[in-house]
Structure 1
């Protein structure tokens, strides 16, 4: 079933260890002891089995500590099932800059449901990639986390329509006694100047069984410096000619008309004279160009603070009242872009017509920079105004209260909650359209010699704006369960419940954009709300002592898209104590998100590679996207199948292999830029080119594009060697293999397999994590191997992106029973991200540019 030609030795080691487990351990296992009944993610019923019918990866408190990571996002994004199409703060060109999400199975962040203590939290204030509503992992507390459960099959029948790819349940400490403080500080070892500092506190008192109450308070904070492209040695010069299909990725500017060799002025500021063919092979002459590295932020400078307060009061032996309060603040500061370039394609928003107005950039006769007797068009970058800067500030909260207990043989839980995410994004050094038109006409701004401009003119041109956005979620939940009656093989369990929630999103734009004042505006207006109500039920039927059947169903009603029923059937067969066979089949649906279906238009900017570009056909260039919502969309519908086997010869060993298959219909999306450009001859209305032949605008609209078929395998293996005086060595590995990722490249087109390519975002076929933890005496040491497979670069046929493997090290020494110190090193061997010519250097969804990063940590318990 698995290929024998795995690229790197640690992956072979993972499989070898997994295959050897039955031989390394005795086949005789201890008889199972009585276990407490618990509720696991994926079911509303309390059971005693450690492994259920669905594949659930559990990251315990010890697992979390072994990673050495200080953020929820960093932990979750490292799992092997996060196979593609997820973004973190490296995606600096996003309307959701500074955030981090998760995309199980590569199906997008909108198809992965994030829960905290089994309950929903608000999605981020605006959408990722204009389309995806998602939970920002950077807004969630790390210090409060006791464990994380990752359900890797569809759970629409239990949790709702947005659980198509799976569920992540972040479970916080409900009880904790004492006080623990932690501090960690580190920096890059590669001379980038980036540092990172974090502190954390957790304290609690009260024992629910003994005292009748429990309170847990936690807080954590982190600060990290901004990393610019110019800080990273191999990218600082933007000269990639030594790489396959690489270029001198400098930007030509400051020229007359449409010919970059007709120079406007001379070298000034960052501008240098460069041979044209160094940037675009085959071109003659000399151009003025600049290195964009100093204007490119790879990782924003961030500041984050999270707090969590959880309390429970026991009213009587059967009733608990509880309350959770979460608050998170985060800010992300970045260099948004180089100073504004004015020329062909300069636009401003016309709110009356809901379209963009063209702004002519033509020097009138008599302008100091116009030597001729007729008006002349120019292309120029306003370097003296400074780089365009952006800071996004996010406030997140959830307040939830509820009551749970037992009554008349039923175990119940009822809660009401309110959650929200509020964004305030400020930008500086943008350009005022009306002042620009005035100085252009009057000749009071010198494009050719910007040092001659007065500070008063510069200040008048500069524009600062505020973009607000907010998302809120109101929830009411009720569930109850009980044993119904006994069968020869055991007791039939039953659970039912009801949920109601209101989703609201108000993502706005600045007043400067709406008034047409801001040049080259970006717009992502989303305004809408919906009410969703649901009824669900679940039966657990023991057909035999070793065979369980679980039936679940959920009816969801969206007030804007109607109703749907999502059933699920699961079988769990345990013929021996060491062998488990399992399988689930389910049906789900996803209603169009508010960004996809609200009646609004988005204006965004991206870089595309246009082989017909007359100036720079070999390097990516910025263009405008106009994306329109569609009120006539149909919901996406899905069918999920999961089959698995778990072998556990002893309590110290286990190996699980699971197969998943997801088939979706009416998948909502837009054509990719590469597809639109490739089909320009048949659909020219989707592309607008300027008089110089360069692309100005791509038009897109959300549509039900067709089907998507995804399948793959997950391997999860763990073994602990009991070494006596040599300590204990635990080896565990997770390996995911994408077998198929088929989708249409355009609406109605045949399915194309994107596994191992970047047709639909980068989808590596293999992704693996192998960790070895050696506990000896007062030491606990972990080495983790992270592997991401290579993939085909589809915009340049025959070009491939190389696989990459990195090592992380976490050494912890318990100095006293209360105090521990340690060393954490990420990317121990300083592996460079794999070159990807389609992005000019590397794919930020798959790699980290920081190189080796080392930190010291300290923790103390009172």
Structure 2
């Protein structure tokens, strides 16, 4: 049945091309018709039923933001569950994504000029395949269109929450270059940028246009010790806060049975200050010195675009995007030898326990019999990591616009490649040999020779890549002239190949590396899709849009996605719009294909024999599920736009999204508290301490979310210039999903139970333009939310709200020169305290930077 559906839809998509010959002599190229994100039919932008937010190049410049992720992640519709390079413990460190409606990066589709780009080389959160915004250029961006309702019927699987379409210049003449420098006055972090844009040729007069852009960015690494309020790791004055220290160097699993002397950064510490109810003295160190909050980065982006007029109505085009990114960070402290020490067993695809027991007679063993230890190998130095990423996209095609048909045929190849280097990890076989022989001194590392230390150290390389290749064909026309206007039609066909291969180092696969982290993914699939669309003017004031898409995935099967929309304009100043659609998200390659991940986390363990109900580290083993089903969604949107004058507008849009068979992992806290319900998934050592949790991706159940967006704009002539007030706010009404398979829906809106999901998020700006001067003041607000993990009266019950202000200004009074200045976080506000976040603020919403000053200059050549 699916084959017949695809065949019929494909024939409908191909039908327009049979009539292209009759268009060859036409020169009717209406400049009033445009293609807006969410439709393939060219029409007046006012005729659209979709809520689309447009950010122009001028808006980007006025924001003072220095990168594409900074621009997009500050939007109100990026409401939660997205990550950027602050997520340093990730397999996708150094990346940045966007999550419309809080539904995760995997449900937001990123396009460039309406066409796909490759996903990042590895998966975020072990399952999310996503586009790394850090790989995309900023200088070449003409505007960004954010489609806020689901668009699976037009674009496919990953557009459930919406679409971000980054539109580059279609042509450019002239040249300009610029540079800027920034400094965070609070942390001392510096950033430098350079950009260039140059183009030649007028497509209409010369028959061609060619332009090139380049931008570069370099930013210092920011460690926890660089941030004044975080560096001491003493939060006993905060609700739910404590003195944060890592306890180590002790015998028999008992921290007060400590080694005879402090070594490295260890300090004599009261055990009760770290763990209420305990007594005695322990060795502990401040982990802030081994924590990177934002990696140091160097990024380069280049874009080359060419257009060539073949005849009066036909144009050939090609586009090449390239991005290179290098990031460096502290991966973590030196390796600790504990009972949770593991190595990978490739034969069984599982972890093998490695002994932490000192044999009798070992120089570091004070007892007559074998003695387990917990020890940090400070003399080996901190573990570091660097990531090198390259991104490419090559697009070539031919398009035409005649008096009957508009059409576009293109081919695309895009890939993302990662080479991750890790330094100062430990060789398992050298460690076992030295443990057995007594050749390594744990209690006095100063006695260890350079040769001994060198024998323990290994450096590793983790490679990964993701590739996308596709063929696309679309066409649109006006089928008939109805009394209320033209009947618009569009159809298209897409054939796409996706491949992903995330590997690991030979040191891991051979079992050589101690405490390995790995995310092995190897899969590929073919995707075919055919889609069509109608725009029907029912009355002069009422129009209907309809779309349908049939997809076939080689790894799970088929899906059908319809969409209906209505637009009603009873008054010149009032427009009502609404849409109803069905969509789906195909399981990502990590979720459905051959994949295995080993990572490390922490959880409050009520059954721990030493520190019950305290945060305990564990090893997390996650595997794919070939039998998993795709997610399906139903999206409903209803809105109005009121424009009483040309200088004012008010838009309100309500949305509701319901997803079925949401893919995920069951809540780890529940697994630990109810081990009987999950036999074999929770493994403990001989003392009863948590070691390993094993999980498989599953269809958890349904997810429901709803809310509304406000978009307000008003401008006035003032003092010879123009003052514009603008606001974009999003209100989250509900966000519910289960924590376990088949479990009851849990409400996450206004809490951090399902990721930080504030009920209100928005930005309000005041811009003033007067001849050569312009300035913008922007207020960013993120609502507070309930602390879902509060464990008692002394713990934090609510995470506070955030209000920050940015100020930017520019001056164009010097010929060909634009001078800019900006201050981010004008009042030097800290991120809200979160006692249960890994770094005590939620990095999906905030960052640790303070008041940051930027100075820039742009120079335009004739």
Same structural fold, with TM-score higher than 0.5 when normalized by the shorter chain: yes
Which runs of structure 2 are paired with 1:482-497 in the superposition (5 Å)? 482-497=477-492
Deviations 1:60-108 (A, max 9, x none): 1111111111211111111000011100000000000000011100111
How many angstroms apart in 2 are the aligned matches of 1:482 and 1:372? 86
How many angstroms apart in 2 are the aligned matches of 1:148 and 1:107? 20
| Of 657, 664, 673, the match for 2:659 | 664
CA shift for structure 1 position 406: 3.1
**Distance of aligned partners of 1:224 and 1:395 in 2 relative to their CA distance in 1, 3 Å threshold:** same
- Which is worse superposed, 649-658 or 305-314? 649-658
User: Contact 1:620–1:839 (CA<8 Å) still a contact in 2?
Assistant: no
How many angstroms apart in 2 are the aligned matches of 1:533 and 1:804? 45
Matched, 1:767 2:766: no
Deviations 1:300-326 (A, max 9, x none): 001100000001000110100000000
Q: How many aligned residue pairs are there? A: 827
How many angstroms apart in 2 are the aligned matches of 1:314 and 1:615? 75
| Of 809, 830, 845, the match for 1:811 | 809
Matched, 1:685 2:677: no
**Which residue of the partner structure matches residue 25 of structure 1?**
none
CA shift for structure 1 position 675: 2.7
Which runs of structure 2 are paired with 1:612-623 in the superposition (5 Å)? 612-616=607-611, 620-623=615-618
Matched, 1:39 2:38: no
User: Contact 1:212–1:313 (CA<8 Å) still a contact in 2?
Assistant: yes
Matched, 1:468 2:467: no
- Counterpart secondary structure, 1:676: helix
- Which is worse superposed, 793-802 or 807-816? 793-802
- Which is worse superposed, 538-547 or 753-762? 753-762
Matched, 1:391 2:386: yes
Q: Any unmatched runs of 5+ in structure 1? A: 1-33
CA shift for structure 1 position 671: 1.2
How many angstroms apart in 2 are the aligned matches of 1:175 and 1:622? 54
How many angstroms apart in 2 are the aligned matches of 1:674 and 1:576? 55
How many angstroms apart in 2 are the aligned matches of 1:203 and 1:365? 73
User: Contact 2:36–2:45 (CA<8 Å) still a contact in 1?
Assistant: no
Q: Any unmatched runs of 5+ in structure 2? A: 1-29
| Of 26, 44, 59, the match for 2:55 | 59
How many angstroms apart in 1 are the aligned matches of 2:574 and 2:669? 48
**Distance of aligned partners of 1:159 and 1:231 in 2 relative to their CA distance in 1, 3 Å threshold:** same
Matched, 1:730 2:724: yes
| Of 82, 89, 99, the match for 1:86 | 82
**Which residue of the partner structure matches residue 131 of structure 2?**
135
**Which residue of the partner structure matches residue 598 of structure 1?**
593
Which runs of structure 2 are paired with 1:139-538 in the superposition (5 Å)? 139-190=135-186, 192-406=187-401, 409-538=404-533
How many angstroms apart in 2 are the aligned matches of 1:37 and 1:407? 12
**Which residue of the partner structure matches residue 858 of structure 2?**
859
| Of 614, 626, 644, the match for 1:649 | 644
User: Contact 1:73–1:100 (CA<8 Å) still a contact in 2?
Assistant: yes
Deviations 1:742-787 (A, max 9, x none): 1001110011111011111111111011111111232111111111
CA shift for structure 1 position 49: 3.2
How many angstroms apart in 2 are the aligned matches of 1:75 and 1:453? 51
Matched, 1:752 2:750: no
**Which residue of the partner structure matches residue 107 of structure 1?**
103
CA shift for structure 1 position 681: 4.9
CA shift for structure 1 position 265: 3.0
How many angstroms apart in 2 are the aligned matches of 1:524 and 1:384? 29
Matched, 1:70 2:66: yes
CA shift for structure 1 position 156: 0.2
How many angstroms apart in 1 are the aligned matches of 2:210 and 2:618? 53
CA shift for structure 1 position 622: 2.8
**Which residue of the partner structure matches residue 48 of structure 1?**
44
How many angstroms apart in 2 are the aligned matches of 1:547 and 1:111? 31
User: Contact 2:47–2:567 (CA<8 Å) still a contact in 1?
Assistant: no
**Which residue of the partner structure matches residue 94 of structure 2?**
98
How many angstroms apart in 2 are the aligned matches of 1:105 and 1:243? 31
User: Contact 2:606–2:673 (CA<8 Å) still a contact in 1?
Assistant: no
How many angstroms apart in 1 are the aligned matches of 2:195 and 2:488? 41
CA shift for structure 1 position 684: 5.2
User: Contact 2:150–2:160 (CA<8 Å) still a contact in 1?
Assistant: yes
**Which residue of the partner structure matches residue 846 of structure 1?**
845
CA shift for structure 1 position 327: 0.2
**Which residue of the partner structure matches residue 557 of structure 1?**
552
How many angstroms apart in 1 are the aligned matches of 2:86 and 2:259? 35
User: Contact 1:150–1:167 (CA<8 Å) still a contact in 2?
Assistant: yes
CA shift for structure 1 position 617: 5.0
**Which residue of the partner structure matches residue 778 of structure 1?**
772
User: Contact 2:700–2:742 (CA<8 Å) still a contact in 1?
Assistant: yes
CA shift for structure 1 position 132: 0.4
User: Contact 2:523–2:594 (CA<8 Å) still a contact in 1?
Assistant: no
How many angstroms apart in 2 are the aligned matches of 1:749 and 1:835? 31
User: Contact 1:254–1:265 (CA<8 Å) still a contact in 2?
Assistant: no
How many angstroms apart in 2 are the aligned matches of 1:682 and 1:248? 35
How many angstroms apart in 2 are the aligned matches of 1:604 and 1:300? 20
User: Contact 1:609–1:838 (CA<8 Å) still a contact in 2?
Assistant: no
- Which is worse superposed, 400-409 or 234-243? 400-409
How many angstroms apart in 2 are the aligned matches of 1:861 and 1:296? 42
CA shift for structure 1 position 618: 6.5
Deviations 1:622-666 (A, max 9, x none): 321111110111111100000000001111111100000000000
User: Contact 1:45–1:494 (CA<8 Å) still a contact in 2?
Assistant: yes
**Which residue of the partner structure matches residue 792 of structure 1?**
786
How many angstroms apart in 1 are the aligned matches of 2:453 and 2:271? 30
- Which is worse superposed, 616-625 or 302-311? 616-625
- Counterpart secondary structure, 1:595: helix
- Counterpart secondary structure, 1:174: coil
Which runs of structure 2 are paired with 1:566-605 in the superposition (5 Å)? 566-605=561-600
User: Contact 2:127–2:590 (CA<8 Å) still a contact in 1?
Assistant: yes
**Distance of aligned partners of 1:622 and 1:813 in 2 relative to their CA distance in 1, 3 Å threshold:** farther
Query: TM-score normalised to the size of structure 2?
Result: 0.95
CA shift for structure 1 position 554: 0.5
User: Contact 1:620–1:838 (CA<8 Å) still a contact in 2?
Assistant: no
Deviations 1:476-515 (A, max 9, x none): 0000011111111111010011001000001111110000
CA shift for structure 1 position 690: 2.4
CA shift for structure 1 position 602: 1.1
Query: TM-score normalised to the size of structure 1?
Result: 0.95
CA shift for structure 1 position 181: 0.8
- Counterpart secondary structure, 1:839: coil
How many angstroms apart in 2 are the aligned matches of 1:794 and 1:668? 22
**Distance of aligned partners of 1:616 and 1:730 in 2 relative to their CA distance in 1, 3 Å threshold:** farther
User: Contact 2:807–2:822 (CA<8 Å) still a contact in 1?
Assistant: yes
Deviations 1:570-612 (A, max 9, x none): 0011111111100000001111110001133211112323344
- Counterpart secondary structure, 1:685: coil
- Counterpart secondary structure, 2:594: coil
